[in-house]
Structure 1
Amino acid sequence: EVGCVKPTIVAPPQRQIEINAGETLTIQCTARGSPAPYINWRLNWGHICGDG
């Protein structure tokens, strides 16, 4: 498509994060592209609920 730019990850998430059971985990990743990329987190092929 005209004007599209392949997504590029500019700030990848940490490769390994340790937390205790019951704690909240926040994972961040920044990507650029056009149209704006949508980052979708999954666990065992299922969606992880969250804000984005």
Structure 2
Amino acid sequence: EKIITETKRVTNTYVKYHSEEKMAEIHSLENSKKNMIEFRIFVDMYSQEQS
């Protein structure tokens, strides 16, 4: 339950601050690209656990 709540919070925060308008800006920053990849891996793992 705690993990689900935390995942929702992280996801909502991520979506809020990384909207499509900011994608070009994000992709210009190497560190943000790294964070993006890590976040996608996290979501993929979480999705697999739920199915």
Question: Which TM-score bucket, shorter chain as reference?
Answer: under 0.3
TM-score by length of 1: 0.22
Structure 2 length as normaliser, TM-score? Answer: 0.23
- Kindly indicate which of the two structures has a greater share of residues assigned to helix: 2
Report which of the two has the higher share of strand.
Answer: 1
Q: Max radius of gyration: which structure?
A: 1
